[in-house]
Structure 1
Amino acid sequence: MVSWEQLIINEHSAFSWLLIPFFSSSIVVIIIITLLLKLKSSSSSSSTTAKKNIPGPRRLPIIGNLHQLVSALPHQRLCDLAREHGPDVMHLRLGEVPHVVVSSSRAAREVMKTHDAVFASRPSLLAAEMMTYAGSDLVFTRYGESYKRLRKICVVEVLGAGRVRYFRPVREEEVADLVRKFSRRAARGEAVDVSREMFWLSSRITCRTVLGKARELDDGFLRMVESVSEVMAGFKVSDLFPSLKFLPAVTGYKAQLRRMRREMESMLDGIIDEHKERRAEGGGGNEEDLVDVLLNLQASGSTDFSLTMDNIKAVTVVSSDKLIILCLQEVFIAGVETSATAIDWTMAEMMKDERVLRKAQEEVRQVYRGKTNVDESSLHELKYLDLVIKESLRLHPPLPLLFPRESQAKVEVCGYEIPAKTKVIVNCWAIGRDPQYWIEPTKFYPERFADSTIDYKGNNFEFIPFGAGRRMCPGMLYATAVVKLTLANLLYHFDWKLVDGMDAENLDMTEAFGVAVGRKCSLCLIPIAYDDVPI
């Protein structure tokens, strides 16, 4: 069985696997004939406005500009093309679908603030088949009263500052368990796979936050996840070639995904039913999880909003099992993958720059001097660590292309007319490395933020790792709380060295394309205990 890593992470290209079904299926002749007929019928009515007004590279028949994205990771290649063809906005045709790539702060401001209501996120065919509630979630709900009320629920009640503070004990307990685990490894002189450990830490924190306990995933569920990975390519092709919307049905992908959707629905129904039964029996404990919060809101009716079971399931998917999210990589990216990726990149950058590592460690050890554990009470005093995290997010935004959007009407951006039904991609990775805004943009230098008011909260469009505007990531506070607490503990309790005498300059920082863009190689380090931690 093909693993999801093998499918979505290709060492040569993140897009080359899109073409696999064309050359491995017996229906290749039907596909080619369909595309040629579509090309002929649309040649006279193609988007002349986009061609005339928006700069972009020349394209080939049928595949458009897909061939120009097979030599590098998407965000990197799009950045290179934008520098040559359109520093603000650039037109591409990926398959049959017109795309506009935004690569400057100026253009991002217009798309995500000035005309934010015009650009809506749209679910892919994969999302539509996998999720019956794809229109009931925060990402894909059209802007309007329904969206504003659901957004308020998520930002204020579910992922707001008060709720993040409420779950502080969960984060502190899980990070403390990780420190004890690393201490045992340090006592034996063993290395730890930081990348893998950060993923499981983030998974456990999220599961406890959402479900009240860390649920174990059985082999059957893992097999379902692997199966989803195998059928994703057919839906990817259908998204880029709407004329081939029959492809998932002909190949059997649609039937498989519908079966998997029923399994996922059953799992979510079971989780909700467990919480309802516990509530009916008298509350079942003093601590609430996020499912309880949503059920309370539904029961109270205090939100002036009819919160349906579909809404609850959609929000649950956003925050719960990481492996579901991996399969639905175009639908939701929750705090699990992005938080783990941010920690991994930050540790890797500090290992490459001993000056930054030592300075960050000295700050944490000064602030928490004499304490046996690092809790969240004094995290606000770690000013230099804040700079380190910002710089890591600038260079390595976990979602470099953010969520794709689609124009709902004709609109003008930076003097160019974007037709309706055009997919819009905001390349925040390119914006964060634009020499127009950043001195030595590829250098890891946290001090650049020391005397700067630039932050990642959506007001500075040259730095938007969490997006901006109405559809900015509602989980920003949740993610940054996990990242900062974890890094502070790793820096306080341990000194770190690379395995096998590896030179820091040779540490592999190659990116790997996936749900969140992490490092291609796991970060394996040897912890050296700095203080006495209970084992």
Structure 2
Amino acid sequence: MVREILKDHDVVFSDRPSSTATNILFYGCRDMGFAPYGEYWRQLKKLSVVELLSHRRVHSFQFVRDEEVELLINKIRRACLKGDSINLSEMLMLVSSNIVSRCVISRRSEEEEEEDGCCKFGQLAKRTGVLLTSFCVGDLFPYLRWVDVLTGYIPRLKALFGELDSFFDQIIKEHTTLKTDDQVSNKDFISTIMQLQKDGMLEIDLTNIKAILLDMLVAGTNTTGAAIQWITAELLKRPNVMKKVQEEVRNVVGNKCKVDMEDINKMKYLKCVLKETLRLHPTVPLLVPRQTSASVELGGYHIPSNITILINAWAIQRDPKWWENPEEFILERFENSSIDFNGQDVQFIPFGFGRRNCPGMPFAVTVIEYVMANLLYWFVMKLVQHAANSTACRP
């Protein structure tokens, strides 16, 4: 059915249903992820693909990836030399969050509270992710919407929205006061958006800008960090695979003092590790819901308009119809294969497919590959015997 949607009915299935959380947090669904399909969404999609998340723009932020990954490597190295324990999962989420945050708003997500009491965005992003995925009675039974008020769900959403709105007001104010003459080419996303707005090339107001920023920060932080953790976990479970991919990384990089993106393009085995991990562990197992914009016949069924559609990427990517031994971690299935992240292969859709696929795919893949290549180049990791939830890490 996914193939039929992609080939014949992509437009009909490109709308989004609204929800209580997205309406409150994303300024009435004015972001790109949850905006209804139409001219406004197409304008945001073009903005993302051409101006913000193109391969050229992703490459321009290599200095951010270099600096944040170097900080990560140095933290781990110091802990190794001292014999201290570290929370690797937390550190991997943090490096992902910092990279995304710096590219979007030129701030690290772990910065301490500002003098005006503005909370760290990292904490706000976590709370946003929790509330977005929480059960809302009113979304399923509209006549019981009052229950969400009694349980505190809607009050929590409104309180979080107030904090997010204040945070973005401060960020926009800071960028408005910056001198724009002779700006460097490596402007963050918000500077690019505001410049396009100023030049009359983008017809959106500050409310729309806030919604777009929240979209990028929340989506980019949680999914990218989770993918890096899953890759690390799969490699730790398979020392032979870890050894093979580590040998590839070290052979390609050689004796250089740092890993270059040109090196990563030669790491075919590492790319297979990423694909197989995201096949087994898509960071969004149920893709963002879609809604039909018209009645349609699909797979012999009549589907009316305004019906919410849930697509189970986790099940599709483990379907024995498409994959041999689907529950097993087999890297060779991606060797000499044309299957990629672009969503054209319906059996492999970790970033979605069609018009509503994730435009941040090039950004996310670049960050994941760069972080993993550096970890494998600088450290040997293995599970500690007889120690629960522990990993040994040495240079």
Q: Answer whether TM exceeds 0.5 for this pair.
A: yes
Separation in 2, partners of 1:433, 1:204: 32
Give the superposition deviation at 1:387: 0.5
Equivalent in the alignment of 2:210? 313
Equivalent in the alignment of 1:73? none
| 1:225–1:286 Cα change, 3 Å | closer
Q: TM-score w.r.t. structure 2 length?
A: 0.91
Separation in 2, partners of 1:166, 1:201: 18
Separation in 1, partners of 2:85, 2:233: 15
Give the one of 412, 433, 439 matched to 2:297: 412
Letter in 2 for 1:294: I
Q: Alignment RMSD, CA only? A: 2.5
| 1:259–1:495 Cα change, 3 Å | closer
CA shift digits 1:259-308 (9 cap, x unpaired): 4323321211111111010136x467774111101111111223xx4122
| 1:488–1:253 Cα change, 3 Å | closer
Equivalent in the alignment of 2:325? 440
Letter in 2 for 1:212: S
| 1:295–1:499 Cα change, 3 Å | same
| 1:283–1:500 Cα change, 3 Å | farther
Give the superposition deviation at 1:220: 6.8
Equivalent in the alignment of 2:364? 479
Give the superposition deviation at 1:208: 0.9
Separation in 1, partners of 2:231, 2:314: 16
Letter in 2 for 1:386: K
Letter in 1 for 2:26: M
Separation in 2, partners of 1:150, 1:457: 19
Establish whether residue 301 from structure 1 lines up as the match of residue 200 from structure 2. yes
Q: Secondary structure at the match of 1:128?
A: helix
Alignment gaps of 5+ in structure 2? none
1:55-204 paired onto structure 2 within 5 Å: 107-119=1-13, 120-134=15-29, 136-204=30-98
Separation in 2, partners of 1:189, 1:438: 43
| 1:140–1:213 Cα change, 3 Å | closer
Decide whether the 8 Å contact of 1:346 with 1:388 is kept in 2. yes
Separation in 1, partners of 2:346, 2:140: 29
Decide whether the 8 Å contact of 2:339 with 2:345 is kept in 1. yes
Letter in 1 for 2:211: A
1:486-525 paired onto structure 2 within 5 Å: 486-501=371-386, 524-525=390-391
| 1:408–1:274 Cα change, 3 Å | same
Equivalent in the alignment of 1:258? 158
Separation in 1, partners of 2:46, 2:68: 29
Letter in 1 for 2:344: N
Equivalent in the alignment of 2:170? 270
Separation in 1, partners of 2:133, 2:223: 23
Decide whether the 8 Å contact of 1:193 with 1:524 is kept in 2. no
Establish whether residue 288 from structure 1 lines up as the match of residue 187 from structure 2. yes
1:333-348 paired onto structure 2 within 5 Å: 334-348=219-233
Equivalent in the alignment of 1:18? none
Letter in 1 for 2:391: L
Larger Rg: 1
Decide whether the 8 Å contact of 2:290 with 2:310 is kept in 1. yes
| 1:188–1:424 Cα change, 3 Å | same
Separation in 1, partners of 2:254, 2:271: 19
Alignment gaps of 5+ in structure 1? 1-106, 326-333, 508-522, 530-535
Q: Percentage identity across aligned positions? A: 38
